[in-house]
Structure 1
Amino acid sequence: MGSVSKIATVSDKEIELKNCVVCGFIHDTQDHLSHVYAPGNTTRFLINKFKLWKCTNCLTVHSLNQVDFADIYQDYPVNSYQTLDFFATFRFSNLLKRLQKAGLKQNHRILDMGCGNGIFVSYLKKKGYTSVTGYDPYVKKFSKLIFNEKFDCIIANDVIEHVENPRKFMSDCANLLLQNGILYFGTADSSDIEFNEIAKYSMKLHQPFHRILMTPTSLEKLGRELISFTLIKSFKRSYMDTLIPFVNYRFLDEFNKSLGYEIDLAFKPESKKKILLSPRLIFFAFFGFFFPCAYEPAIILRKGL
């Protein structure tokens, strides 16, 4: 892994976007109200500004700067520092319950698409799911996948917003699924993002890594486009939202806000002391579930009508 202190290399060249990638609405480059520059929220990209366009028709947010994916992910802090700790275990328990209710069995062949450093893969194996594969092209350990293999369940959680073409990504996942298998897609919600208050959405925008942010309606629309797939369940709230203290999205957002939305700092032990010194953070650690600040839509699809 590279050092997080490496100087950022961001292209000033923009993607030649003519239409919204979700609804096809014409991209009006002269509509300045639908464009904004947002800062990065990792140490490496904190001083950079990234141009965004929000489609006025379907509210999809597009990141317009061209990036080298291998470069930006070489020292991605979430992959570098995230561990299967006490709090991650409770978050993943919520996600697993969703999958179990949709029909996931312990003997199923499971693919965690875009698995990062593989902590959800590790969690599933600890829970008795023995046939679990992780794939992430930017993490060496998980960079290989035999694409003629088929799976009973494919999980793509917080991944679809990281790709340039979400429709193609969904289709690629669908092609790896066995008949009657289930697909899980979860992402961030672009509905409430206001460009005149861009700083407060730094965690959700997560530049330059989040390329396309959609609304729940758009996510469902793309899911319904998959031929011979049935939408069996949709969710509004994040799987990270629980009643367990410190395990809710509002607390995570408030904690990152207190660190200037520099998420590398959130993984450092010395930053944890900040929580104990802040009545506001302590309050949201215990009661943040009841004061949601953002939603993360998710859908579960089954292959077969």
Structure 2
Amino acid sequence: MGSLLIRGISLGILPHMSTDYTCCICGKKHSPSSEPESACVPSNVRHYAQEHFALWRCGECGSIHARDKVDLERYYRHYPFFTQILDAPLRWGYRRLVRRLRRAGLHRDHRTLDYGCGSGLLVRYMKEKGYNVTGYDPYSSDHGDPAAINKQYDWVIAQDVLEHAEDPLEILDILGALTRPGGIV
């Protein structure tokens, strides 16, 4: 068995997995005797730079999962995106994103939700450009209002959300329920 490759970096192999793991994407069961690829990666949050996450890759569908449950609330207290500012490089990136969304059919009058919006910088940028956009993030004090997820939207944007979810299919179901018939996730 080779080491797990993430973003072009070989990270080595974790100690033997001692329990069964089931892929929440395809349902494939992995037992210690059919151990999937695994690796240990450092936290990308500076405050927790000394901590590492054990990951494993499903041998059936290739999706990557955390071996252990992660307390996201703990990490989000020091998450850099909550203190980020809407500077020129970020505006440039958002301009490119909005251009792609417009090519896919987004209009300013569409009701749009940015699910998992963090500090809401994309929401702010889009509002500045005249879009009808709402932000929701359960870990944000500024954008955690549950009223935002009691509506349906023409567009639901979810950047960098699925990889944080213990069950990505559940998140996709939530996003689908937030999208009106004929809307786009």
TM-score between the two structures when normalised by the length of structure 1: 0.52
User: How far does residue 92 in structure 1 lie from its aligned partner after superposition?
Assistant: 0.8
Deviation at 1:32, TM superposition (A): 5.4
For residue 31 of structure 1, report the CA deviation from its aligned partner.
4.8
Which residue of 2 is the match for residue 178 of structure 1? 180
CA shift in 2, pair 1:42/1:30, >3 Å: farther
State the 1:172 CA deviation.
Answer: 0.7
What is the distance in 1 between the residues matched to 2:136 and 2:37? 35
The answer to whether the aligner puts 1:24 opposite 2:38 as a matched pair is no
Deviations 1:170-207 (A, max 9, x none): 11111111122111xxxxxxxxxxxxxxxxxxxxxxxx
Deviations 1:48-92 (A, max 9, x none): 222111112211111112222221111111222x22111111111
Corresponding residue of 2:145: 144
RCO comparison, higher one (Cα < 8 Å, 6+): 1
Q: 2:38 corresponds to which residue?
A: 35
Unaligned runs of 5+ in 2: 1-16
Return closer, same or farther for 1:63/1:100 CA change in 2, 3 Å cut-off. same
User: Could you tell me which residue of structure 2 aligns to residue 94 of structure 1?
Assistant: 96
1:135 is displaced (CA, Å) by 0.4
Following the alignment from structure 1 to structure 2, what is the Cα–Cα distance between the partners of residues 19 and 32?
11
Change (3 A) 1:102 1:34: same
Asked if the contact 1:150–1:177 (Cα under 8 Å) also holds between the matched residues in 2, the reply is yes
Distance 2:52 2:73 in 1: 19
Question: Match of 1:170, SS?
Answer: helix
Q: Who is 1:54 aligned against? A: 57
SS of match in other structure, 2:180: strand
1:160 matched residue in structure 2: 162
Return 5+ residue gaps in structure 1 as ranges.
1-13, 184-305
Q: Secondary structure at the match of 1:125?
A: helix
Instruction: Tell me by how many angstroms 1:101 deviates.
Output: 1.4
Cα shift readout 1:106-150 (whole Å, capped 9, x = no counterpart): 111110000000000011011111x21100011100011323311
AA matched with 2:89? F
Structure 1 residues 151, 33: CA separation in 2 closer, same or farther (over 3 Å shift)? closer
Q: Where do residues 223-302 of structure 1 align in structure 2 (5 Å cutoff)?
A: none
Q: What secondary structure, in the 3-state scheme, does the structure 2 residue paired with 1:66 have? A: coil
1:149 aligns to what SS in structure 2?
Answer: coil
Determine which structure has the larger strand proportion and give its number.
2
SS in 1 for 2:70: coil
Q: CA deviation at 1:33?
A: 6.3
Runs of 4+ with deviation above 6 angstroms: none
In the alignment, the residues of structure 2 paired with residue 181 and residue 69 of structure 1 have an alpha-carbon distance, to the nearest angstrom, of: 29
Deviations 1:182-238 (A, max 9, x none): 11xxxxxxxxxxxxxxxxxxxxxxxxxxxxxxxxxxxxxxxxxxxxxxxxxxxxxxx
The answer to whether the Cα contact below 8 Å between 2:30 and 2:36 also exists between their aligned partners in 1 is: no
Indicate how the Cα distance of structure 1 residues 33 and 166 shifts in structure 2: closer, same or farther if over 3 A, else same: closer
Is the alpha carbon distance of 1:44 and 1:32 closer, same or farther for their aligned partners in structure 2, counting shifts above 3 Å?
farther
Cα pair 1:102 1:182 within 8 Å, conserved: no
Are the counterparts in 2 of residues 53 and 64 from structure 1 also a CA contact under 8 Å? yes
Amino acid at match of 2:179: L
Per the normalisation by structure 2, the TM-score is: 0.83
Q: Distance in 2 between matches of 1:21 and 1:33?
A: 14
Whole-Å separation in 1 of the counterparts to 2:34 and 2:46: 31
